[in-house]
Amino acid sequence: MGFMGTLTAALYSALVVYLGGWFLGHWIGDFALLLFLLTVVTLGYWLAERFYFQPQRERAAAALETQHASRRADLARQGIAQVDGNVEEAKGRLLMQPWWLDWTAGLFPVILVVFLLRSFLFEPFKIPSGSMLPTLESGDLILVNKFEYGVRLPVINRKIIANGDPARGDVIVFRYPPDPRIDYIKRVVGLPGDEVAWLNKTLTLNGQPVATGPLPDYYDEDSQRYTEQKNETLGPVNHRILLRADRPSFVSGAEAFPNREACRYSAEGVSCKVPPGHYFVMGDNRDNSIDSRYWGFVPDRNLVGRAFFVWMNFGNLGRIGGFR
């Protein structure tokens, strides 16, 4: 198979092991890093193919054609016009890419386009839980706008061009502050400088209750139960929230987190002053969401983008469409 074939087989084996362990839950994968590495590796193969392997094959094919022409000339001088062998078929074999180049250099343009689109424009995510019900359901496949909150370098997520900031009511994807390897999705409730309070299951911003209105109870097919549902208005965004009457108001199990001194916990709930450069986020399924009430604020550096569109739900095609 040769050295390059063996090397490529080893790289593909490592990729299969990594993806298999990720799928089975043995470790947390980093798709952005994986895609970056695939782009770099396939670029290396593409450059090697463009400037070394392809010219080498073309030289071999040219030499074969020269040898064939010389042989035909020698035979012609001897009066032999018929020459055995198909030189074009032999040249085709010489010019053909080996499998290890076809599956690396040949994939580079596709992987590069996916990497650029995912890094700077739109990224797909899958909703893993019901913390954003009724806005988003488990199994929804969503798109996230990657440039609305600034252009960021892939993998390290460092902002290089400021382009805007989250607004109240935005549904955002971000790197989970206690473990940035994990992506979370919640709704922005508090902006930098806001005083956010969740007391007796009532949300207030800067001392003013957030406007809500009654809605028919929500039926959750998974749990087969009805839950109180309300309409809530955050800035220009009207959305629905769920409340469970059997859940207490106080926040139990809050972790130690940066800027925890900005929050005050009591039997009625929690109130927090959002630090500069941070955001307070909550799930729409208020009594079934582990969010800023428990683990603190989302730093701007952890932002990934704004979620805005359900592009597929294999269990319910009617879910496809935009959302706020």
| CA 158/CA 177 separation, integer angstroms | 15
**172, 303 in Cβ contact below 8 A?**
yes
Known catalytic residue at 201: no
Instruction: Give whole-number Cα distances, 291 to 48, 105, 186, 254, 288, in Å.
Output: 48, 43, 8, 10, 9
| CA 187/CA 234 separation, integer angstroms | 10
| CA 248/CA 204 separation, integer angstroms | 18
Spot the catalytic one: 119, 131, 289, 292.
131
Exposure of 311 in the CB half-sphere (CA atoms within 13 A): 12
Known catalytic residue at 131: yes
**Sign of the CA dihedral 230, 233, 238, 239?**
negative
Count other C-beta atoms under 10 Å from residue 322's C-beta: 8
- Give Cβ neighbours of residue 282 (< 8 Å, ≥ 6 apart): 186, 187, 189, 198, 203, 289, 291, 292, 293
Spot the catalytic one: 91, 119, 186, 292.
186
Closest CA to 167 of 148, 145, 151: 148
- Report the catalytic residues: 131, 186
